[in-house]
Amino acid sequence: MAGSLTIRPVQTKRDRKTFVDLPFRLYRDDPNWVPPLKSEALSLLAPEKNGWYSHAKAQLFLAERNGRTVGRISAHIDTLALEMPTAQGFGPGTGQWGLMEAEDAGVFTALLAAAEQWLRDQGMTRVLGPISQSIWEEPGLLIEGYDHPPTIMMGHAKREYRGWIEGAGYQPAKQMMCYELDITQDFPPIVQRIIKSGEKNARITVRMVDKSRFDEEAAIILSILNDAWSDNWGFVPLTPPEIRDVGVKLKPIVFNDLIRIAELDGKPVAFMITLPDLNEPLAKLNGSLLPFGWAKLLLWLRRPKVRTMRVPLMGVVKELQSSRLASQLAFMMIEYIRRASITRYGATRGEIGWILDDNQGMRSIAETIDSRVNKVYQVYEKAL
């Protein structure tokens, strides 16, 4: 396109609004893009409203041509990620970029250059992307599965982005899989036998969470999560401010029978979080709760009926991960939540993800219950 291109930093609340508004224009003809709530998207960009900023900093950029916004990107540094071992993905000198959207390849390249230069100026020597913005939010670029909408907290992207990123000298660093399954079908006989065996084991208890004790239950899950995932690629420990923010965000769609904690001899050792796909009602609201969206969403939250349930997080403490008990606990939690999903929420489909490409244990569990990969996300890296 003709006209000079300008890349400038986001400085005002109005700039942030422009940053959030851009995808609504770029994806307006894409039937598989789900508009986020603009209020929530703005909160994620505001340091005073996002606990991630307690250990991170970011610079947002806008691309403009002839007075029109044509692209955006975030460059950011997570101080906790800098402290992690390099072999686990992050490590000293590693910055990130994310929230990238662009009208064309020229805009994309210019935005990448601006993000990379900001990271160099901050002393970074390596970059990972896209990560938007915390690793716990929407990591990776969609590279397979463009033909159906993402579920809650999953990303979507234009097909062209992959070629533009790789053309800028980036190499694949890690893939994350999302698996889907028909939950109306009983699991294979071998899985049913494993579940029944666990039910006969007096040492095992698989219980629902108690939402009335939300903070206490969240602390139990956080403790298991930070232990279970501590050796995973890309792991950065969740902090209390982030947990608080996640609690505020997700509490309305937390239901006791969709989140399970497994105990061994009375000690919590595993958990599974399942969320009804909030994207199903959000897809109809075009990013706003006004004038009547809030009422529609509130009604849905009181008695949610969905096609899809998503499992965003699941974990077993490290001391059990190499044992047969780990998969047994996983199968038991999956089965109990599967039953509740069908009978109470009318769900017919499940999604499990993300699952790291080298997480053979979880991939084996997903494949054993007849799941198949339906989306793949990729994180790229480059030396600065």
Whether residue 19 is predicted with pLDDT greater than 80 in this model: the reply is: yes
329 burial type by CB count under 10 A (0-12 exposed, 13-18 middle, 19+ buried):
buried
Ramachandran category for residue 93: left, alpha or beta (phi over 0 → left; psi -120 to 50 → alpha) = left
Hey, do 5-176 and 180-376 end up sharing a CATH topology, with the first three levels equal? yes
| CB distance 344 to 336 below 8 Å | no
Q: Give the span between the Cα atoms of 125 and 142, in whole angstroms.
A: 25
Q: Give the span between the Cα atoms of 7 and 71, in whole angstroms.
A: 9
pLDDT tens across 301-327, in order? Answer: 888 899 999 999 999 999 999 899 999
Report the pLDDT value the prediction gives residue 149, as an integer from 0 to 100. Answer: 96
Whether residue 178 is predicted with pLDDT greater than 90 in this model: the reply is: yes
Q: Give the span between the Cα atoms of 354 and 375, in whole angstroms.
A: 9
CA triplet 331, 332, 334: central angle to 5 degrees?
65
Does CATH place domain 5-176 in 3.40.630.30?
yes
| CB distance 33 to 27 below 8 Å | yes
Paired residues of 314 in beta bridges: 272
Confidence of residue 267 (pLDDT cuts 50, 70, 90): very high
Paired residues of 350 in beta bridges: 181, 309
Report the pLDDT value the prediction gives residue 2, as an integer from 0 to 100. Answer: 57
Helices and strands: H and E segment counts in the chain? 12, 15
What does the pLDDT average to over 266-287? Answer: 93
**Topology of domain 180-376, per CATH?**
Aminopeptidase (3.40.630)
Report the pLDDT value the prediction gives residue 316, as an integer from 0 to 100. Answer: 96
Among candidates 263, 254, 233, which has minimal Cα distance to 362? 233
pLDDT tens across 359-372, in order? Answer: 999 999 999 999 99
Whether residue 279 is predicted with pLDDT greater than 60 in this model: the reply is: yes
Boundaries of every domain in the chain: 5-176, 180-376
pLDDT tens across 187-211, in order? Answer: 999 999 999 999 999 999 999 999 9
What does the pLDDT average to over 260-281? Answer: 96
Structure tokens at 165: 């990123």
SS3 state at 253: helix
Among candidates 288, 275, 220, 277, which has minimal Cα distance to 42? 288
Report the pLDDT value the prediction gives residue 322, as an integer from 0 to 100. Answer: 85
Report the pLDDT value the prediction gives residue 11, as an integer from 0 to 100. Answer: 95
Q: Give the span between the Cα atoms of 58 and 72, in whole angstroms.
A: 13
What does the pLDDT average to over 130-138? Answer: 94
CA 358 to chain centre: 18
Report the pLDDT value the prediction gives residue 304, as an integer from 0 to 100. Answer: 87
Report the pLDDT value the prediction gives residue 292, as an integer from 0 to 100. Answer: 63
Task: Quickly list DSSP for 179-220.
Answer: EEEETTSPPPHHHHHHHHHHHT-TTEEEEE--GGGHHHHHHH
Confidence of residue 298 (pLDDT cuts 50, 70, 90): confident
Structure tokens at 368: 């054993």
Residues 6+ apart with CB under 8 A from 294: none
What does the pLDDT average to over 219-227? Answer: 93
Predicted structure pTM score? 0.94
Report the pLDDT value the prediction gives residue 297, as an integer from 0 to 100. Answer: 78
Among candidates 273, 296, 150, which has minimal Cα distance to 217? 273
**What is the three-state SS of 100-135?**
EEECCHHHHHHHHHHHHHHHHHCCCCEEEECEECCC
Paired residues of 61 in beta bridges: 9, 73
pLDDT tens across 91-133, in order? Answer: 999 999 999 999 999 999 999 999 999 999 999 999 999 999 9
Among candidates 128, 153, 154, 133, which has minimal Cα distance to 142? 154
Report the pLDDT value the prediction gives residue 317, as an integer from 0 to 100. Answer: 96
**In the chain, % of residues over pLDDT 90:** 85
